[in-house]
Amino acid sequence: MEEKKFDVQSIIGFVLIFGILIFMFYQNRPTPEELAAEKAKQEQVEAAKASENLETETVGNNEPQLDLQDSTAVANYQGKLGAFGFTKPSNDITTLENDVLLLKISNKGGQIVEAKMKQYVTYDSVPVYLVKDGNASFALDFSTSDNRVLNTADLYFEPSMSNDNGNQVLSLKAKTSNNQYLEYRYVMKPNDYLVDFMIKSKGLDNVISTSKPVTLDWKLKGIRHSKSIQYENRYTRLTYNHEDGKISKLSEGSDDEETEEDIKWISYRQHFFSSILAADVPFKNGDLTSVNLVEEESRTFGFTKEYASALPVDLEGGEISKDLHWYFGPTDVDTLSKYEDLGLDDSIPFGWGIFGMINRYVFTPFYGLLSTYFPYGIAIVIMTILVRLAMSPVTYKSYLSQAKMKVLKPEITELGEKYKDNAMKKQQETMKLYGKAGVSPMSGCIPAVIQMPIFYALFMFFPTSFALRQKSFLWADDLSSFDTIYQFPEGFSIPFYGDHVSLFPILASIAIFFYMMMTTGQNMPTQPGMPNMKFIMYLMPFMMLFFFNNYASGLSLYYFVSNLITIGIMLVIKNFILDNDKIHAQIQENKKKPKKENKFQKKMREMMEQAEAQKKN
């Protein structure tokens, strides 16, 4: 019986091909002069983008800064605002702060101009900001009864701070008189990322035109937080929730826009952090836009996507009254699940259908439990071991099917030679042999299909698990991002591979290669005129090496350990559980037993016999 041997020449060949590719790309890397020219060109492009994006800010930001010391300029400016010129201009900033979140809110526009995560830093140890340096704007567009078109970003608000049972309350009023105003009210609770936000007007039923719409405009450019901007951008996405609980998303890879109805909340997700605007009473409709700002990997570019939402606000008796909530915080299931009434945890990209359910309700809590007792990398290893042990019966079924097919291989080869000029008869006799032996050629595929939900769920778990963010293991600094053992010189990058070498994907690819050699490498037939399936099988680990080089190192660690464990399980099954002689004897016994055909098998046999008869005629 043929023994399985590892094809050392193939391994050496792939290593040489990989080395030659790196050498070729390295030899053709840009010169210092070309790098300088490319850098200057990139700076011009980024400057143009920044200038273009500045034009999308609110009207107030496009106008020259008002000199509050110039009384004439102030009077002229207030005159443009009509009745809202009543409020005295002031550029002061008010700070709301608890243990986890810091917000700075400007009197000009009454909007949040800075939102800082107090417990998190970026990959380069800078505090995580979701709003900073004019990357966001929030305003109401409305018309007045004297035919003015105003934007609240142009209005000055008068602040007032108070305390309500330990909650910080900031009231900002854009007044038309002492008792008539438009109010923004922020309520920050202790140790909470969710800030209650109310928009309310009083006495403005004769000031705000009821014949024209009032629109809430919210824009934000996602600030880069991760080492790889392309990787972060892959999980940066505008997500929104309908009143019926349905979750919808704009494209994560290209520009996109939609007009939707019954919007309960809108999430501007920036991979591991989110800015969310939620409404107690859903918006009836809204125009949502996402613009992709990332064209290629860059070590300096600072933004991922630009989001915009335009949402109509209904008037009640000529007045505005809208209860909202701001969430600035981590895209973390433990944190977002606290707001069950708003359903904010649905903004996390667990995956779709059964895959997302496995990720959300099995792997996420299971890993959370393990990581409370073990270091994060060790927790991945333990979870991998337990998952593979749980799937070992499936592995056994798969290997048993392969062993049976191996035992039948000489007889299948004999049939191939006997009916080499009659493909139909060959297929018919082969299926008859399978039936007599009690072997199904599909039985090896079923275990693979069973494992697909696990594969996909884990594929989504590692890149999006907040618990893995900035957690180190061995040489990997961050299990939620790629590990780097060598960084190519600036300006040098291998297409589809990247500007660095990650070790975990190399180890995972090697393990996958040996696993495939053990399972199908020696039994995979090569048919004349058909692609060389062995070459395709050998190429797959090589492709995975490129694919995983820019993915989460935790995912590569999982596949490395998983394949090592699977190889170990299969060696145990092969050497201590399965006996080829017994399998052969069992197959021979099965052949002697009368085999009853089911309806499908009978129909297939009759069709093949008819085809054979027609061929003879």
> Higher pLDDT residue, 66 or 174?
174
The stretches of 281-422 forming alpha helices (DSSP H) are 333-336, 353-358, 364-371, 376-390, 392-418
pLDDT for res 71: 63
Residue 525 has pLDDT above 60, yes or no: no
- Mean pLDDT of the 448-476 span: 84
Beta bridge partner(s), residue 279? 324
Residue 73 has pLDDT above 80, yes or no: no
Alpha carbons 424 and 59: distance in angstroms, whole number:
75
Residue 199 has pLDDT above 50, yes or no: yes
Instruction: Give the CA distances from residue 222 to residues 226, 237, 291, 294, 344, in Å, rounded to whole numbers and listed in that order.
Output: 12, 10, 10, 11, 19
**What's the chain's average pLDDT?**
80
pLDDT for res 542: 79
Instruction: Give the CA distances from residue 137 to residues 173, 309, 382, 530, 613, in Å, rounded to whole numbers and listed in that order.
Output: 18, 11, 46, 59, 77
AA letter at 160 = S
pLDDT tens-place string over residues 3-62: 444 455 555 555 555 555 555 444 445 555 545 555 555 555 444 444 444 333 333 344
What torsion do the CA atoms of 78, 81, 82, 83 make, to the nearest 10 degrees? -90
- Mean pLDDT of the 67-93 span: 76
Residue 418 has pLDDT above 50, yes or no: yes
227: exposed, middle or buried (Cβ count in 10 Å: 0-12, 13-18, 19+): middle
Alpha carbons 130 and 224: distance in angstroms, whole number:
9
* DSSP-derived secondary structure for 151-219: EGGGSB-EEEEEEETTEEEEEEEEEEETTEEEEEEEEE-TT-SEEEEEEEEES-TTTB-SSS-EEEEEE
Contacts of 153 (CB under 8 A, 6+ apart): 58, 59, 60, 61, 108, 109, 111, 137, 138, 139
Alpha carbons 271 and 428: distance in angstroms, whole number:
54
Residue 540 has pLDDT above 90, yes or no: no
Alpha carbons 497 and 501: distance in angstroms, whole number:
8
pLDDT tens-place string over residues 274-289: 999 999 999 999 999 9
